[in-house]
Structure 1
Amino acid sequence: MEQLALALWASVCGYQDIKRLRVSNWLILGGFLISFVYLYVKESSLTGATVNMAMTALFIGVCLSLPGYLLGRLGAADVKYLAALGLASDPLTVLYSLAFGCLLCIALFILVKLFKRSVEKSAMNEEVRLRRAPSKNKSFPFIFAMGAGLLAHLIINKII
């Protein structure tokens, strides 16, 4: 049941990231506080990990996302999301959701490149081509990708 709550929280964060290209601080910090209170009261994370494993996952999440934030590749919400995910889960869940999220980003990047190439090769006029091409000033919703990675990890973990 706790994993379902974690999956629901990640889905809401991903949905909000797709719709607005930003995630509310209340949503992320609310998840962080709920995870912290749950960890303090139950002495285990939402995925059943011990307190030490949850703190290790928090540390891993921050250490893996902070360099991307400092280089300007990730937003502050991505760092906070991974910290909250680490507190709510275990190190493997953080690593798998980040890995699956990166694989999803690579797949979507390839699809966008193929789409751009097919749009450029077609005989459409300039106005239609510019309207259909992906925007260059919008960032990719990485929290959506990490949420999809978390859902994939939870599904694979339950099936195996």
Structure 2
Amino acid sequence: MHSIVLLMWLALCTEQDVRQRQISNSLTLGVAACALVWLFVTGQSWIGAEASDAGWALAIVMLLTLPGYWLGRFGAADVKLLGALALATSQQYVLGTFIGAGVSVLVWLICRRRLWTLANPKVKRRLQHLAEQMGDKQPFAPYVLAGFLLTSVWIQ
């Protein structure tokens, strides 16, 4: 049940990231604050892991994302999104999400041309319009969503 709520939250973040190429602080920091309060009140993360597991997950996220942020590969919203996810889950989920996101990026890079030829013309126009508006900046939240979904299926 808790994974479904996290999936819905990630879907909202994904939708906003795809449309605007940014994720609002109310979505990222709001969930992070709720997860932190939950940790202090119950002593467990949102999915039921120990509070120390959520702390280690946050440390892993910072270790993996801050260098990318400093190098301009990650946006601040991506770091906050993954930090909030870490506070709500555990190291297993965070590492699985990173691996799943990486696999999703590779699959997308390999298959995107083929999928583009199969897409509906209306969908092509809409996506082309979005791509022209936003330039080179690519959203990362869709890959995080796919990685979390893969990890949730794998763990459960």
TM-score, reference length from structure 2: 0.83
The offset of 1:2, in angstroms, is 2.0
Question: CA RMSD, aligned part only?
Answer: 2.4
- State how far apart, in whole Å, the 2-side matches of 1:109 and 1:21 are: 19
In terms of Rg, which structure is larger?
1
Residue in 2 that maps onto 1:149: 147
The offset of 1:142, in angstroms, is 0.7
Q: Can you give the 5+ residue segments of structure 1 that lack an aligned partner in the other structure?
A: 120-129
The offset of 1:153, in angstroms, is 1.1
Residues matched between the structures, number:
144
Q: Secondary structure at the match of 2:45?
A: coil
% identical equivalent positions:
34
1:30 matched to 2:30 = yes
Residue in 1 that maps onto 2:10: 10
Q: Can you give the 5+ residue segments of structure 2 that lack an aligned partner in the other structure?
A: 118-127
- State how far apart, in whole Å, the 1-side matches of 2:34 and 2:41 are: 10
Deviations 1:92-151 (A, max 9, x none): 100111111111111212234xx39x99xxxxxxxxxx99x9889332211111111101
TM-score, reference length from structure 1: 0.81
Do the aligned partners of 1:6 and 1:46 also contact (CA within 8 Å) in 2? no
Structure 1 runs of 4+ off > 3 angstroms? 133-136
Do the aligned partners of 2:21 and 2:134 also contact (CA within 8 Å) in 1? no
The offset of 1:35, in angstroms, is 0.5
